[in-house]
């Protein structure tokens, strides 16, 4: 998937992946996509909740070699 910014949160535990994601989303424009990589086991639940609360769109997530990769589209706030 095409993305505009990649954020590496591998090895970080909650809430740091969400905070890194938020910083990344704040640095891109509306409708751009962020790719964030994490190894936090609760990340799927956390990112799903984060997107529901903030209005950003969780486009997809995949797991590759114990790393979960999320693609999130920034919405206009």
CATH fold label, 5-73: Translation Initiation Factor IF3 (3.30.110)
Give me the residue spans of the domains in the chain: 5-73
- Alpha carbon distance 75, 12 (integer Å): 25
Annotated catalytic residue: which of 5, 10, 12, 14?
14
Q: What string of DSSP letters covers 7-70? A: EEETTPPTTHHHHHHHHHHHTS-TT-EEEEEE--TTHHHHHHHHHHHH--EEEEEEEETTEEEE
Write down the pLDDT at residue 58.
97
* Mean pLDDT in consecutive groups of 10 residues from the start of the chain, 77 residues: 96 95 96 97 94 96 95 90
Write down the pLDDT at residue 76.
82
Tell me whether residue 21 is one of the annotated catalytic residues.
no
């Amino acid at each position: 998937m095409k993305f505009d910014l990649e954020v590496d949160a591998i090895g970080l535990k909650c809430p740091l992946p969400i905070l890194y994601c938020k910083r990344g989303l704040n640095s891109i424009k509306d409708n751009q996509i962020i790719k964030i990589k994490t190894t936090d086991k609760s990340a799927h639940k956390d990112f799903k909740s984060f997107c529901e609360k903030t209005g950003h769109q969780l486009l997809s997530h995949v797991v590759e070699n114990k790393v979960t990769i999320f693609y999130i589209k920034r919405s206009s706030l």
